Amino acid sequence: MPDTVFVLNGPNLNLLGTREPEIYGSDTLDDIAGRLDDRARSLGLTIDMRQSNHEGHLVDWLHEAQARAARAVLLNAGGFTHTSVALHDAIKAVATPVIEVHLSNPHAREPFRHVSLVGQAARGTIAGFGALSYLLALEAAARF
């Protein structure tokens, strides 16, 4: 599975396309998954795309990514980005590189979004480019 990239999405991302489109855009998670699948194929990769509103699922999936020797993880932890010591520790605990992904630019938003516990543990962060953020992160992951 070294040619697989896990794409993990946290709380409320199942509502993309209808949730605050002025911030997050009108693309759904399925729209993003389709673009990622297309680009991944051209890079010789496969995507394993998942979403959960539960923090523990994201932790378990980070562990699974390592156990399955995934090439990388693209992680949009949603609101857990700013609060989850558990995700921070899980990222630090696995050898699989994790790229933090955000549709919006957290630094241009409310002050509580300016601190990223996920970003402090991730290999890198791509934010502020809408759905393109995922594709840019995939491009980076392809180079690991």
Q: Which residues are catalytic?
A: 24, 102
Q: What are phi and psi of 117, to 5 degrees?
A: -70, -35
Strand order across the 46-51 sheet? 46-51, 4-9, 72-76, 98-102, 124-127
Work out whether the CA dihedral 124, 140, 61, 21 comes out positive or negative: positive
Write down how long the chain is. 144
Q: Residue type at 108?
A: A
